[in-house]
Chains A and B, each alone.
Chain A
Amino acid sequence: MSVTSRPAHYGFAEHWLPRLVLAPSFLLVLVFLYGFIAWNGALSFTASRLLPNYEWVGLAQYEALFASERWWVAVHNLFIFGVLFIGGAMAVGIVLAILLDQKIRLEGALRTIYLYPLALSFIVTGTAWGWMLNPGLGLEKLMHDWGYAGFSFDWLVNPDRSIYTIVIAGIWQSSGFVMALFLAGLRGIDDSIIKAAQIDGASLPRIYWRIILPAMRPVFFSTLMILAHIAIKSFDLVMALTGGGPGFSSDLPATFMYQMAFTRGQMGLGAASAMMMLVTVSAVVVPYLYSELRRSRHV
């Protein structure tokens, strides 16, 4: 190290300046992120109702949570939404990326068009799809006006189907983003690999299936991570599109938490559900971060 040959005051600045610069944001993150997580954790063990109090009740809130039908509807919905949303956005995104990768004209324009929904907030997406899927206002009314009187599309107001409308809107919003990620990955593939496979006699679908998509594994995992955490914390889309309804048929854990903690005066229960979400997200993210960090240390 050449540090020893430098003047002493230079070493002092070099030593303390980075810490000084980083300290404010470090403090803010420590208090407002980890501090509040800890506070929320503490509240989940109390009998807090409209306002926080510190009457310790042990695991009672968690017991109440697991006994709540509404919570299990929300968890069940999260499962449906998560699987269909991640799978759907991934499938649509990959297909779009492969189609766009065929050296077509106007690629730049098309890419922007497909990516654009990402620029909208989930609130706008939810509101717009709410209008389109509203039987008295959108698609169903349009078809009726055109003379197809038998046409029916009432998923938005059907308690058994309402969660799927959220899936549709979510896929519409996110598949362009998946497309952009995969397109970048596809562009990273050496052209001569495709040529080699052509000479080897492989058809285009086979080249994608056997050679190119397997090479996309890192992109696949990054996309999965991003979509998974979008799915788990989904809140605004549900609020704008269905408001969790009809009834609580399209509740997700995030809307459940919001309802309990801030509108129904069940803050302890809300805190407990928030902790459950934190655990779920951690279960997804921590192994990923661990493997990523371990890999970068080895490189």
Chain B
Amino acid sequence: MGALAIKNVTKRFGDTHILKGIDIHVDSGEFLILVGPSGCGKSTLMNIIAGLESPSGGEVHIADRIVNDVAPKDRDIAMVFQSYALYPTMNVRQNIAFGLETRGVPKKEQDEVIARVAKMLQMDHLLDRKPGQLSGGQRQRVAMGRALARNPKLFLFDEPLSNLDAKLRVEMRTEIKQLHHRLKTTIVYVTHDQIEAMTLGDKIAVMKDGVIQQFGSPQQIYDTPANLFVAGFIGSPSMNFIPAHLASEGGVIGVSLQSGDAACFAPLLDSQRYAAYVGKRVIVGVRPEQWDLAADGGGLACKINLTEPTGPDTIVFTQINGIEVQARLHPRDARSPGSVLHLRPDMSKAVLFDPETEIRIG
């Protein structure tokens, strides 16, 4: 059953096109992430799903029902906001009860719901406090509790963790994921943080300029990004984009890499699919962790310009084909700046892009 379907939704203000034909289909129980840089239209799309803004064209279906003309309160949704949006003059209990009260839920049932939610989020001790007396993390918890009070068909999270400090953000991220496992409710989650997107989502829609650049599972998006933007946006440190010529040497198609005076030819796997591009310029995308130390002395001899130890790995900076390349190595393999390392890209995982269209080849 489709929990949420967005069909060719557009939104414009005057001549400004915020959304240019969005299509998304999410199955019941899935965790959908809308991710993109600020101004990409993801929050507008979220507001359209919630019914807080109306689309200029297209259809929004929730639980197989067109909801274009349905008021937010009748869409059977609950939403958590970036600023938490708690009612400032009400205490936590009243905050949770407000929506129930508006819907005419009897007092006794309200109390049961509040008790259930408070237990689920371990916030019994906060029930009589005002939002002003809570810490950021506690407010976040209450905002989630308020959304959980009803059993909606769809949860909407609008950058819920952006206002938290780094440590709390990681904790709450885990908690949201656990909550999703337990409740199995469909969730739409807006974020600009690609790590949140990767860790939480069943499906990710990467957005830019009001267009979905790619829609797929986190692993699909990571391994086979549709274009340069997606490849650069997902993953940290981001993918290296090495400009190169696609050449054929003895029937094997590959790219030549050059670092300082050293050069090597890196053959591509399953290379016949790139045949049409032989002799043309391409951009080779190799993620930092897709570099290995060539113990046999092969590969490309690269001079290290800089190292950034992160603990588990060390990021090594070098120059290949005229651009700065980062390689993630085991700390024991890294050398200090100035020395030379023999690096070999894992070409089975490399992706190629057309420099003109910026779209992935093959």
Contact = CB atoms under 8 A, between A and B. Distances in A.
> Are these two chains actual partners, yes or no?
yes
Interface string B13-36: 000000000000000000000000
A196 B81 contact: yes
A192 B159 CA distance: 12
A200 B98 contact: yes
B89 A198 contact: no
Contacts of B78: 199
B52 interface: yes
Interface in B81-104: 81-83, 85-90, 98-99, 102-103
B251 to A, nearest CB: 61
Given A195-B52, A211-B89, A201 B103 contact: yes
Interface residues of A, number: 17
Given A192-B83, A214-B89, A217-B89, A197 B98 contact: yes
A215 B72 CA distance: 23
B89 A192 contact: no
A202 B98 contact: yes
Nearest to A216: B89
A264 interface: no
A107 to B, nearest CB: 18
Nearest to A194: B85
Contacts of B103: 201
Contacts, number: 61
B218 to A, nearest CB: 28
Contacts of A217: 89
A161 interface: no
Contacts of B102: 200-202, 206
B77 interface: yes
Nearest to B47: A195
A211 B79 CA distance: 18
Interface string B43-56: 00001001110000
A201 B71 CA distance: 9
B303 to A, nearest CB: 49
Nearest to A202: B102
26 contacts: A192-B81, A193-B85, A193-B88, A195-B50, A195-B52, A195-B72, A195-B79, A196-B85, A198-B52, A198-B72, A199-B50, A199-B52, A199-B72, A199-B78, A200-B73, A200-B98, A200-B99, A200-B102, A200-B146, A201-B73, A201-B99, A202-B98, A211-B87, A211-B90, A215-B88, A217-B89
Interface of B: 47, 50-52, 71-73, 77-79, 81-83, 85-90, 98-99, 102-103, 146, 158
Given A192-B85, A195-B52, 7 more contacts: A190-B83, A195-B81, A196-B87, A197-B98, A198-B72, A200-B146, A202-B102
